[in-house]
Amino acid sequence: MDRTLLFGTAGVLTVALVTGVLTLLKSGQQRRLKERVSTAGALETPGLQASGLPSIRLHTTESRPLLERLLRLLRYHPDVPQAHTIPWYLVLIFGVLVAALVANMMSGPLSLPLSIPLGIATGLFMVRAIFAFQYNSYVDKVFKQIPDAIGLMVRAIRAGLPVGEAMRSVAAELSAPLRDEFSRMLGDVAIGRPVDQALMRLYKRTELPEFSFLAVTLGMQSQTGGNLAETLDNLADIVRKRVALAKRAKALAAEARMQAGILMALPFVAALAMSQIQDFYIEQFSTPAGQKLALIGLGFSLSGFLIIRWLIKRAGMD
């Protein structure tokens, strides 16, 4: 009876989750299309009418619905579908299966009211981990191509081409994924959006500050003038140093990540070794009390591993 209730709850959660995501994606597409049509050709510079002076202020704040915030929590970006190589419904199905499996396994050591929330939390964690891994890999590839893109723009501008043609050369000559992002950005420019605002939209999609630097640079140059090629050359040098520094930080953090993995796996390796030496060392884990202690130890190990990874990530961001 408990297993019937458990699988029934998992089925209801699956239907609700898939229905909610489908509704969100449909409403999000309609809202973005409506926003794109209503703002096509309009300059987002309300301060110009009040002051009469040119401004390069870039407005990045926007209201986010509750469902969109839920997708952000799961690290799924519907406006960057090419970042998620695995279809989202397969990821959700996998998460539901993991949730049902964990809840079924934990229904023995734990009670049913505790095993179901634990299974749901584990499923959500797996879904978020898969989405985050795909998105971070995509953004990392884009990040490594930015210096080449800016360098190509500098060479095109020094050859006498305008900024628009320089960006088209980036979209034509570079490889994916940055080529696709620049093509999408040029599509925004083609419908009347200013270049700096189109770049800020690219910044919002990828969350890479280098695109905001480029947007501010082009916006300032369009308002004040100056040698754009030299400015972009300096920006390319800065971005190239940032990419090199990020690679160095990742290499230095490899040892810490390895230590975290070893600390995570060491208790299980030790338990396996003890089971091969003498069986009575781990006989206590077959009792309900021993199973609860094993679950507590697994929870502490997993928490420590996640905390170490979070600290490494924060150190790399700083």
User: b/e per residue, 213-227, with b = 16+ CB within 10 A?
Assistant: bbbbbbbebeeeeee
Same domain, 226 and 251: no
Residues 232 and 254 in one domain: no
Q: Are residues 147 and 226 in the same domain?
A: yes
Among residues 245, 261, 296, the one where a domain terminates is 245
If asked whether residues 219 and 252 sit together in one domain, one would say no
Q: 94-115 pLDDT, tens per residue?
A: 989 988 888 887 777 777 788 8
Residue 84: pLDDT band (50, 70, 90) is: confident
Answer yes or no: do 208 and 161 share one domain.
Answer: yes
Domain presence at residue 136: no
Give tens-digit pLDDT for 141-181: 999 899 889 989 999 888 888 888 888 988 888 888 899 99
Measured CA to CA in angstroms, residue 138 lies from 51, 84, 108, 217 at distances of 41, 8, 40, 25
Report how far apart the first and last C-alpha atoms of the chain are (Å, whole number): 52
Do residues 182 and 221 both lie within one domain? yes
In contact, 99 and 119? CB cutoff 8 Å: yes
Handedness of CA 214, 217, 223, 227 (dihedral sign): negative
Give the CA-trace dihedral at 225, 186, 213, 201, to 10 degrees: 130
The pLDDT, as a whole number, for residue 139 is 92
pLDDT of residue 258: 83
Domain count, the chain: 2
Q: What pLDDT does 46 receive? A: 40
Whether the pLDDT of residue 9 is over 70: the answer is no
Look up residue 102 and give its two tokens: 């964990």
In a domain, 174, yes or no: yes
- Asked, for residue 190, whether it belongs to a domain, the answer is yes
Asked, for residue 286, whether it belongs to a domain, the answer is: yes
What distance in Å separates the CA atoms of residue 179 and residue 208, rounded to the nearest whole number?
Answer: 16
For residues 148 and 240, state if they share a domain.
yes
Measured in residues, the chain has a length of 318
Q: What are phi and psi of 20, to 5 degrees?
A: -65, -40
Last residue of a domain, one of 245, 269, 288: 245
Q: What is the Cα–Cα distance from 202 to 183, expressed in whole angstroms? A: 11
Residue 55: band (very low, low, confident or very high) from pLDDT cuts 50, 70, 90: very low
Of all residues in the chain, what percent carry a pLDDT higher than 70? 79
Q: Does residue 291 fall inside a structural domain? A: yes
For the chain, the average pLDDT equals 77
221, 245, 269 - which closes a domain: 245
User: In terms of residue numbers, what domain contains 203?
Assistant: 142-245
- Residue 200 falls within a domain, yes or no? yes
Instruction: Report yes or no on 169 lying in a domain.
Output: yes
- Mean pLDDT of the region 15-23: 55
Same-domain check for residues 260 and 202 = no
Nearest to 86 by CA among 134, 120, 54, 136: 134
Tell me if 77 sits within 8 A of 101, measured CB to CB.
Answer: no
Prior bond of 177 cis (ω within 30°): yes
Half-sphere exposure (Cβ direction) of 243: Cα atoms closer than 13 Å: 17
- Alpha-carbon span 142 to 77, nearest angstrom: 15
Q: Are residues 219 and 266 in the same domain?
A: no
Q: Give me the CATH number covering residue 218.
A: 1.20.81.30
- 183 occurs within a structural domain: yes
> Which secondary structure element, helix H or strand E, spans residue 4, and what is its range?
helix 2-39
Same structural domain, 258 and 193: no
Among 288, 204, 180, which Cα is nearest to 35's?
204
- Determine the distance from the C-alpha atom of residue 101 to the mean position of all C-alpha atoms in its chain, rounded to a whole number: 27
Quick check: pTM over 0.85?
Answer: no
Q: In whole angstroms, what is the distance from residue 52 CA to residue 280 CA?
A: 83
Check if the beta carbon of residue 85 is closer than 8 Å to that of residue 239. no
Whether residue 173 sits in one domain with residue 210 = yes
- For residue 7, what are its two tokens? 């699988």
pLDDT at 218: 87
Kindly report whether the peptide bond that precedes residue 288 is cis, defined as omega within 30 degrees of 0.
no
- Confidence check: pLDDT of 138 > 90: yes
- Tokens (6 digits) for 167: 């960006």
Please state the separation of Cα 230 from the chain's center in Å.
33
Same domain, 159 and 204: yes
